[in-house]
Structure 1
């Protein structure tokens, strides 16, 4: 009886910790950065000549002052939905990590639903941007586990490095938002790796699951 109990405990312990992620979580994690990049590239091509991707943010593309704003708005909706779907599939991670990524996704949907006016700024939009930026930047901090030292993306060290880099990029973004001439560039440079990181985590989980199945 005791041996059966020990086997059961082992199966629900390390075995559970090394479960992978479902295919649909991989698909949503892949689609997120693709949708974001495609959105700003396509939307940028239909803007008037005075538009500058270096100076102006993505919010300008999705705001009421942007030309064909539906393009960037749709991109942001898809990005947010993808983060939520990916979070649902990350059952191998602690609940806090899934909540943070899901919260970042909800913030993305909120900022798309609450666009900037043609002139000035909307507090609700700014709040959504700030909350979403903080959540996606700190997501790696909730992923790291000492039980997965063989995977950089899932290890405590790797998660700490990613968090430090993303927080620095977020701080630079928030500072540039105060009127920096490279606001748009800083935003895009920061968002790209932050949006890709959930995919890195998903792939690392699947790799760990395969390695665990082979032992």
Structure 2
């Protein structure tokens, strides 16, 4: 009986940390979910209050937060929340390698910089453009740092899944950067590209939590 009790205590002790340290904490789920919601709500609401000549198909999100945008605080707040959410999510992904957390956090800081460094009413600001480029590249390549051969049970967390996501996101980013040179569908390309990239951290967080639950059940 004493030996059985010892085994039970060891089992409880081993299972305890798994429950205390899931693949991602609940607040990382909240921040990862809030990021795309904030961004989409921002461009929908801000776009609705723009003058008739504004075109979501042709013009970028930066126009909504620029000094010339109507009620620019709406998109500015949205970008700030987006960046802050990426930073918070990165802090919660302790089960990933540090490089993955650093890249996602860097993308979040770039989002905050976008909010703090708006475009002028006319023309363009180099610091804003730099923040856009850096943030776009970081969020596009971030999945490449997530993949691990040790998580083969989850396609999202596997090397193949991460490579597939990175390939798609890099292609979308290249299309965005090309359209920024004067394309008539710049705004549309930007929205189509940024949406899956912003949702992907949530996909990873949920996959990590699912993977952690499977490990606990197996043990």
TM-score by length of 1: 0.92
Residue 131, structure 1, aligned to residue 134, structure 2: yes
Matches within 5 A, 1:10-159: 19-159=22-162
CA distance in 2, matches of 1:35, 1:197: 15
3-state SS, counterpart of residue 55 of structure 1: coil
Equivalent of 1:198 in 172, 180, 201:
201
3-state SS, counterpart of residue 180 of structure 1: coil
Equivalent of 1:178 in 178, 181, 198:
181
Q: 1:71 Cα deviation (Å)?
A: 0.2
CA distance in 2, matches of 1:85, 1:21: 11
In structure 2, runs of 5+ residues without a counterpart are: 1-9
C-alpha root-mean-square deviation of aligned residues, in Å? 1.2
CA distance in 2, matches of 1:146, 1:68: 47
CA distance in 2, matches of 1:64, 1:176: 22
3-state SS, counterpart of residue 214 of structure 1: helix
Q: 1:150 Cα deviation (Å)?
A: 1.1
CA distance in 2, matches of 1:212, 1:117: 52
Q: 1:19 Cα deviation (Å)?
A: 4.2
Count of equivalent residues? 201
Name 2:169's counterpart in structure 1: 166
CA distance in 1, matches of 2:37, 2:164: 24
4+ residue runs of structure 1 moved beyond 3 angstroms?
A: none
TM-score by length of 2: 0.90
Q: What are the Cα deviations for residues 190-213 of structure 1, in whole angstroms up to 9, with x where unaligned?
A: 000000000000000000000000
CA distance in 1, matches of 2:86, 2:212: 21
Q: 1:164 Cα deviation (Å)?
A: 0.2
Name 1:3's counterpart in structure 2: none
In structure 1, runs of 5+ residues without a counterpart are: 1-6
Matches within 5 A, 1:199-214: 199-214=202-217
